[in-house]
C-alpha cells in the first residue's frame, strides 16, 4: 500500500457498500475529488473508511448542485465550505427568481386565452424573464441606437445611463413586471428610436460650428425649471416675465448651435420641438419611475408643453 491510511476497500467493494457505480467512483478519483488512499502492487485502487465518508459527502454536494471542481477545492481545503455554500445559496435564489418570473409568464399566457387561438407568450412577456443585468444590457443597446450619430456630451450621456440603464432591480413585483414589459416593447419600437434620434440630430445638423450639446441641454434644463415654476402657479407663457424665460431659452439655445436668437431661429425652434415631440417619451419616463420605484414628476412634461406653447405665442409676434 502507498498510504498509511487503512485502505481496506477495493473500488468494487466501495461501490457495493455505497451504491455508487464503479465508473462514477473511478471518475471522481480521476478528477481528484476522491483520490484512493492506496494502490496495490498490482495497481488496484484501494479506499479507506474515511474515503467512504468522503464519497457520501460528494454525493450530498452533487445533489445540492455543486460541480466537481468546487467539490475538489472544498475537500482539498482550497476554499472554505461556507463560501461555497453561500455561492450555492445565491445560485438557488437566482433559480427561484427565474422560476417565479416563468410562473408569471405562464399565468399571463393562460389569462390571454392560450387555448382558444393557440397564442403563446409574446416577445414583450418573454422579456420579463430577463435578469437585471440582461435588462440593463437590453436598454443600453436601444439607448445607443437612439443616440447613434448624435454628439452627446459625456456628462449628459452618463446622466441618461444612471437614469435609464443602471441599478435595475433584481426582483420585480407585479407592477414592475408590467412596467418592464411595456418599457421593453417601447424601447425596441423602431419608430420610437427614430423619434429619440430626431430630438437631437436636427440640432447638430443645423449648427454652424461645433454643436455644444452640453450648453443646449443646460439651456433646456434652465428653461424647464422656470416653466415648472410657472406651471405650478398656473401662469400662461404669454406674460412679460414668462416670455423673458422663453426668450432666454431661445438665445442660449441659439448660441449652442452657433446662431443668433432672432425670429428665424425662434421659428426653427418651434418647428423642431413640435416635429420631434413624442408623447410616448413621457410614458417612457413614467415606466422607468415605476421600475426603479421613483416618484414620477408629471410637471416636467407639462413644463415642456408650456415652453412649446410659449414658442407658439412668440413666433407670430416676431413676424409682426
What pLDDT is stored for residue 308 in this prediction? 92
2 inside domain? no
pLDDT recorded at residue 247 = 94
End-to-end CA, the chain: 108
Are 27 and 86 members of one domain?
no
User: What pLDDT is stored for residue 244 in this prediction?
Assistant: 94
Most confident segment among 147-161, 167-181, 305-319? 305-319
- Same domain, yes or no, for 171 and 184? yes
**Does residue 4 have a pLDDT over 50?**
no
For the ranges 6-15, 84-93, 151-160, 262-271, which has the lowest average pLDDT? Answer: 151-160
Q: Which residues pair with 45 in a beta bridge?
A: 39
229-239, pLDDT tens digit by residue?
Answer: 999 999 999 99
The C-alpha cell 460541480 sits at: 67
| pLDDT surpassing 90 at residue 26 | yes
User: Residues 90, 137: one domain?
Assistant: no
Residue 311, C-beta contacts closer than 8 angstroms, at least 6 positions apart: 246, 250, 266, 269, 270, 273
Mean pLDDT across the stretch 72-78?
77
Q: At what angle do helices 81-111 and 68-75 cross, to 10 degrees?
A: 150
- pLDDT tens digits along 127-169: 655 666 677 777 777 666 666 655 555 666 666 666 666 677 7
Domain count, the chain: 3
For residue 25, being part of any structural domain is answered with yes
Query: Could you tell me if 48 and 11 lie in one domain?
Result: yes
pLDDT at 320: 45
Distance CA 263, CA 220 (A): 18
More confident residue, 139 or 39: 39
Both 98 and 245 in one domain: the answer is no
Are 222 and 207 part of one and the same domain? yes
Query: Which pLDDT tens digit goes with each residue over 188-214?
Result: 777 877 777 766 566 666 655 677 777
Q: In this predicted structure, what is the pLDDT of residue 3?
A: 42
282 CB-side CA count, 13 A = 12
Same domain, yes or no, for 170 and 301?
Answer: yes
Q: What's the full length of the chain, in residues?
A: 320
Domain-located, residue 126: no
Q: Say what percent of the chain tops pLDDT 90.
A: 20
Q: Same domain for 74 and 86?
A: no
Q: What is the CATH number of the domain that holds 65?
A: 1.10.1660.10
141 within domain boundaries: yes
Is-contact 206 257, C-beta < 8 A?
Answer: yes
Pick the more confident residue, 50 or 152: 50
Q: Does residue 127 belong to any structural domain of this protein?
A: no
Give the span between the Cα atoms of 214 and 221, in whole angstroms.
Answer: 10
> Binning pLDDT at 50, 70 and 90, where does residue 309 land?
very high
160 vs 83 pLDDT, higher one:
83
pLDDT recorded at residue 2? 42
Q: Give the residue numbers spanning the domain of 40.
A: 7-79
Q: Which helix (H) or strand (E) holds 7?
A: strand 7-10
Confidence at residue 109, expressed as pLDDT on a 0 to 100 scale = 57
Whether residue 67 is found in the same domain as residue 199: no
**The domain boundary residue, chosen from 93, 121, 149:** 121
Site of grid cell 455644444: 212
Q: Is residue 305 part of a domain?
A: yes
Q: Are residues 286 and 173 in the same domain?
A: yes
| 47 located within any domain | yes
pLDDT tens per residue, range 84-120: 677 667 767 766 776 776 676 666 556 655 444 444 4
pLDDT score recorded for residue 19: 85
- pLDDT at position 72 over 80: yes
For residue 58, the tally of other CB atoms under 10 A from its CB is: 23
Q: Do 301 and 168 lie in a common domain?
A: yes
Q: Is residue 1 part of a domain?
A: no
Q: At what angle do helices 190-198 and 174-187 cross, to 10 degrees?
A: 70
Same domain as 257, residue 150: yes
Laid out side by side, the sheet with 45-48 consists of 7-10, 45-48, 38-39
Whole-number pLDDT of residue 117 = 46
Whether this model's pTM surpasses 0.85: no
Amino acid at each position: 500500500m502507498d498510504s498509511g491510511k487503512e485502505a481496506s476497500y477495493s473500488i468494487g467493494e466501495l461501490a457495493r457498500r455505497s451504491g455508487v457505480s464503479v465508473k462514477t467512483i473511478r471518475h471522481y478519483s480521476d478528477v481528484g475529488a476522491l483520490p484512493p488512499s492506496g494502490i496495490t502492487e498490482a495497481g488496484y485502487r484501494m479506499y479507506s473508511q474515511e474515503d467512504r465518508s468522503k464519497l457520501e459527502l460528494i454525493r450530498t454536494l452533487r445533489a445540492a448542485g455543486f460541480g466537481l471542481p468546487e467539490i475538489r477545492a472544498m475537500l482539498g481545503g482550497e476554499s472554505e465550505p461556507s463560501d461555497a455554500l453561500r455561492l450555492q445559496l445565491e445560485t438557488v435564489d437566482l433559480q427561484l427568481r427565474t422560476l417565479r418570473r416563468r410562473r408569471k409568464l405562464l399565468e399571463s399566457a393562460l389569462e390571454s386565452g392560450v387555448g382558444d387561438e393557440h397564442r403563446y407568450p409574446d416577445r414583450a412577456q418573454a422579456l420579463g424573464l430577463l435578469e437585471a443585468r440582461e435588462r440593463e444590457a437590453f436598454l443600453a443597446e436601444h439607448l445607443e441606437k437612439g443616440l447613434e450619430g448624435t454628439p452627446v456630451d459625456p456628462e449628459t450621456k452618463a446622466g441618461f445611463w444612471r437614469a435609464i440603464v443602471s441599478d435595475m432591480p433584481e426582483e420585480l413585483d407585479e407592477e414592475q413586471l408590467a412596467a418592464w414589459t411595456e418599457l421593453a416593447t417601447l424601447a425596441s419600437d423602431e419608430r420610437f428610436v427614430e423619434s429619440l434620434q430626431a430630438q437631437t440630430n436636427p440640432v447638430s445638423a443645423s449648427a454652424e460650428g461645433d454643436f455644444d450639446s452640453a450648453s443646449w441641454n443646460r439651456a433646456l434644463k434652465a428653461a424647464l425649471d422656470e416653466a415648472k415654476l410657472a406651471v405650478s402657479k398656473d401662469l400662461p407663457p404669454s406674460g412679460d416675465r414668462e416670455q423673458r424665460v422663453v426668450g432666454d431659452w431661445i438665445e442660449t439655445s441659439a448660441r449652442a448651435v452657433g446662431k443668433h436668437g432672432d425670429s428665424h431661429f425662434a421659428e426653427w425652434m418651434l418647428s423642431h420641438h413640435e416635429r420631434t415631440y413624442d408623447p410616448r417619451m413621457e410614458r417612457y419616463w413614467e415606466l422607468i419611475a415605476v421600475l426603479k420605484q421613483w416618484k414620477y414628476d408629471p410637471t416636467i412634461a407639462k413644463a415642456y408643453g408650456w415652453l412649446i406653447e410659449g414658442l407658439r405665442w412668440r413666433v407670430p409676434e416676431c413676424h409682426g
